[in-house]
Amino acid sequence: MRRLPRISDAEWLVIQVLWSRPGLTADEVVEALKGKVAWSARTIRTLLNRLLQKKALKYEKEGRKYRYFPAVNQEQCIRQERRSFVQRVYGGTIAPMLAAFIDDARLSPEDIKELKRMLDRKDKR
């Protein structure tokens, strides 16, 4: 399996649009991001081209337009980003990260029960 490309924060916003709605044209991606980012259409087109160069996107030519499709799996990219975050911020150690998230979060009694169930399932493996 080929290595997943490193996707920047800005590129991430663009590819998320295409994960949710594959096959959009550049104009449609621009429209989908309108009001969410303060970027020009040119900036969004540049990000599409970067994602193409990284092989994170592919395209199909349709007349004079191009339709863009993700060439990388969303779940795999999320997993890679999660692992990268844990490595960069917590030195690869999960427990301090979970402790920080739990300390910062407002957890309902049901949330706490669900977390305990997840840990119990993990412990039984």
Instruction: Name beta bridge partners: 70.
Output: 57
Exposed / middle / buried, residue 30 (Cβ in 10 Å: 0-12, 13-18, 19+): buried
Q: Please determine, for residue 125, whether its predicted confidence score (pLDDT) is greater than 90.
A: no
Kindly state the average pLDDT of the residues 56-61.
97
Give the other-Cβ count within 10 Å of 8's Cβ. Answer: 13
Q: How far is CA 32 from CA 27, 69, 78, 114, in A?
A: 9, 15, 21, 35
Q: Please determine, for residue 64, whether its predicted confidence score (pLDDT) is greater than 70.
A: yes
**Global pTM value:** 0.80
Residue 63 DSSP class: T
- Quick one: pLDDT at residue 24? 98
Kindly state the average pLDDT of the residues 33-47.
97
What's the distance, CA 63 to chain centroid? 30
Pick the CATH number of 9-70 from 3.40.718.10, 1.10.10.350, 3.40.710.10, 1.10.10.10: 1.10.10.10
Kindly state the average pLDDT of the residues 83-91.
93
Over pLDDT 70: what percentage of the chain? 98
- Quick one: pLDDT at residue 2? 63
